[in-house]
Amino acid sequence: MKFNLLAISLASCQAVFALPTDTLEERDTVRGFDISHYQTNVNFAGAYSSGARFVIIKATEGTTYIDPSFSSHYNGATAAGLIRGGYHFARPASSSGATQANFFLAHGGGWSGDGRTLPGMLDIEYNPSGATCYGLSSSAMVNWIQDFVSTYRSKTGRYPMIYSTNDWQQRRLPYDLSPGPGKI
């Protein structure tokens, strides 16, 4: 519903201010992509010249996996002039949010105020190898995410970004996630 209201608002602005409709979306979009070890040969310079300006790179998963391509991807993105950051694939059934946030921070998930590093991102979605919500109730999942977020923020001074799918969020977290940064 919020997207519909946004579209109506943008359409109203276009009508009132006679904004060109064919370029509004393009001007309001920053292109970027996410990668992991599954993408072995990434042409970062080509991505930049095609309009990409950021990349999110898998750093960790759970508390035992460090992506073996993280450093080379991070360095390649930096050399191409891309803004970059790391992401953590959550495994909520294996340990607390705080434990996983600390593991992520120790292995590429940090943030610096250099103007080229994005805050870390939590990738929380359907479990690829088991129970849809990792065996957690909706309230337990919200608590897990809050634990991750508050730990990350306490160490970096920044809220992490959160990636999920609309479907997973609506089915597993029947809460309004729209109030702003860090609100769950």
CA torsion through residues 140, 145, 149, 152, sign: positive
Please tell me the distance from the alpha carbon of residue 75 to that of residue 132, in angstroms, as a whole number.
35
Question: Which entry of 22, 26, 28, 34 is annotated as an active-site residue?
Answer: 34
The catalytic residue among 125, 147, 167, 176 is 125
Q: Indicate the burial class of 26 (C-beta count within 10 angstroms; 0-12, 13-18, 19 or more).
A: exposed
Concerning whether 125 is annotated as a catalytic residue, the answer is yes
What is d(CA 138, CA 126) in angstroms, rounded to the nearest whole number?
13
Would residue 25 show up in a list of annotated catalytic residues for this protein? no
User: Are the CB atoms for 118 and 82 separated by under 8 Å?
Assistant: no
| Token pair of 39 as six digits | 């993408």
CB atoms closer than 10 angstroms to residue 75:
12
| Residue 1 CB-density burial (10 A; 0-12 exposed, 13-18 middle, 19+ buried) | exposed
Q: Tell me which residues are annotated as active site.
A: 34, 125
